[in-house]
């Protein structure tokens, strides 16, 4: 059993799926006259359990209709693409109508960012950001935000530990994939520590910021982060939104979620994940799903051929795909 960790405020927010299904009770809404109480909301139609050969996965607990919204999810950590730093909200990645002084789209986002932003503002990140820009790196920006959240007490340093891949075999592959970039990650970790030091942060505040922490967090982010591509509010229709999420193209940023990270990959998925206008992720069924069926999303562009898909999945995520489509050689 993994040790219990204090997942903190943000994790509680990210787990709002539970609240989403249970928040509406009859006592929330005083009834003007005695009438039969409305039936309680249905529980989430999903559960996380072990699969036969892909670690943990998400399963349907009842029949799900095509187009049904399974649940929404809020990120544990998110960061905009550097090139869009001033045109999307620094917290929820919503497109800003005009450039604002604050860089946030609402008072609520300013409020939600207080913790990490207080720490981040004290620091000159230009060297770190330039390094990411010139090397074309996006995930160290998520580590930077997470480090600021930990510094401010907003998140625990172990917040992503639960996302580790469950299977040893995968971990071996992942270690192999990551070895090539170990030196680079160590350099980034040194750069991050010295950036905090120069801003006056004390060693005791940075106890968690070790090489092992940096590489461990980055390894989990590489496997679990989503590119957030906004499709706008016009695509509520299932099939339009499925097409739009393929067409969306440029990502506004990247984000790591808790529950969506337990969905395994399939080259012919039955669920897809989409973002309308901010980092709130929506998981929708692409077809009818029976109770007990595993729910899978597609991590990549499924229109590629077998070899291209598998090269991408192995090099990018460290696994050999076991889905039906790959097993049949398609």
Ligand X SMILES: C[S@@+](CC[C@H](N)C(=O)[O-])C[C@H]1O[C@@H](n2cnc3c(N)ncnc32)[C@H](O)[C@@H]1O
75 binds ligand X (CB under 6 A): no
270 binds ligand X (CB under 6 A): no
Nearer to ligand X, 152 or 164 (CB): 164
Closest CB to ligand X: residue number: 55
Instruction: Report in angstroms how near the CB of residue 302 gets to ligand X at its nearest.
Output: 12
Nearer to ligand X, 85 or 325 (CB): 325
Q: Could you give the CA distance from residue 188 to residue 182 in angstroms, rounded to a whole number?
A: 10
269 binds ligand X (CB under 6 A): no
Q: Using CB under 6 A, which of 81, 113, 170, 280 touches ligand X? A: 170
In angstroms, the first-to-last Cα distance of the chain is 38
| Alpha helices per DSSP H over the chain | 8-14, 16-22, 107-121, 126-135, 139-151, 168-179, 182-198, 211-224, 238-247, 306-317, 324-327
- Supply the DSSP symbol for 230: B
Q: Could you give the CA distance from residue 54 to residue 252 in angstroms, rounded to a whole number?
A: 30
Instruction: Report in angstroms how near the CB of residue 53 gets to ligand X at its nearest.
Output: 7
Instruction: Report in angstroms how near the CB of residue 99 gets to ligand X at its nearest.
Output: 35
Nearer to ligand X, 201 or 262 (CB): 262
Nearer to ligand X, 55 or 67 (CB): 55
Q: Could you give the CA distance from residue 134 to residue 17 in angstroms, rounded to a whole number?
A: 38
Contacting range for ligand X; rule: CB under 6 A; set: 73-81, 121-129, 189-197, 319-327: 319-327
Q: Using CB under 6 A, which of 92, 142, 225, 323 touches ligand X? A: 323
222 binds ligand X (CB under 6 A): no
Let me know: does 10 contact 145? Beta carbons within 8 Å: no
Helix (H, G, I), strand (E, B) or coil at 33: coil
- Within 8 A by CB and 6+ apart from 268, the residues are 298, 302, 323, 324, 325
Q: Could you give the CA distance from residue 193 to residue 120 in angstroms, rounded to a whole number?
A: 13
306 binds ligand X (CB under 6 A): no
Q: Using CB under 6 A, which of 11, 78, 141, 223 touches ligand X? A: 223
59 binds ligand X (CB under 6 A): no
**Residues that bind ligand X in the complex, under the rule CB under 6 A:** 54-57, 165-167, 170, 223-224, 261-262, 264-266, 317-319, 321-323
């Amino acid at each position: 059993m993994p040790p219990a960790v204090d997942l903190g405020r943000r994790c509680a927010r990210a787990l709002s799926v539970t609240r989403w299904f249970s928040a509406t009770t009859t006592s929330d809404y005083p009834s003007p006259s005695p009438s039969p109480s409305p039936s309680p909301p249905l529980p989430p139609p999903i559960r996380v359990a072990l699969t036969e050969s892909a670690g943990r996965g998400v399963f349907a607990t009842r029949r799900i209709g095509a187009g049904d919204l399974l649940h929404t999810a809020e990120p544990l950590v998110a960061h905009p693409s550097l090139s869009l730093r001033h045109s999307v909200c620094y917290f929820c990645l919503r497109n800003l109508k005009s450039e604002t002084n604050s860089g946030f789209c609402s008072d609520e986002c300013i409020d939600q960012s207080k913790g990490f932003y207080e720490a981040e503002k004290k620091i000159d990140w230009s060297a770190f950001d330039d390094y990411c820009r010139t090397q074309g790196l996006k995930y160290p920006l998520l580590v930077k935000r997470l480090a600021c959240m930990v510094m401010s007490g907003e998140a625990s340093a172990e917040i992503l530990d639960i996302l580790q891949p469950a299977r040893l075999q995968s971990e071996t592959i992942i270690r192999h994939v990551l070895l090539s970039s170990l030196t680079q990650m160590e350099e980034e970790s040194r750069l991050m520590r010295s950036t905090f030091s120069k801003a006056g942060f004390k060693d005791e505040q940075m106890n968690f910021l070790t090489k092992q922490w940096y590489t461990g967090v980055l390894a989990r982010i590489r496997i679990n982060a989503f590119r957030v591509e906004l499709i706008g509010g016009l695509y509520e229709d299932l099939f339009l939104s499925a097409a739009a999420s393929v067409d969306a193209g440029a990502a506004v940023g990247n984000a790591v979620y808790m529950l969506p990270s337990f969905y395994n990959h399939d080259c012919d998925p039955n669920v897809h994940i989409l973002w309308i206008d901010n980092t709130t992720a929506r998981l929708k069924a692409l077809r009818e799903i029976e109770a007990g069926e595993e729910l899978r999303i597609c991590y990549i562009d499924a229109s590629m051929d077998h070899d291209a898909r598998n090269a991408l999945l192995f090099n990018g995520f460290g696994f050999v795909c076991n889905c039906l489509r790959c097993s049949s050689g398609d």
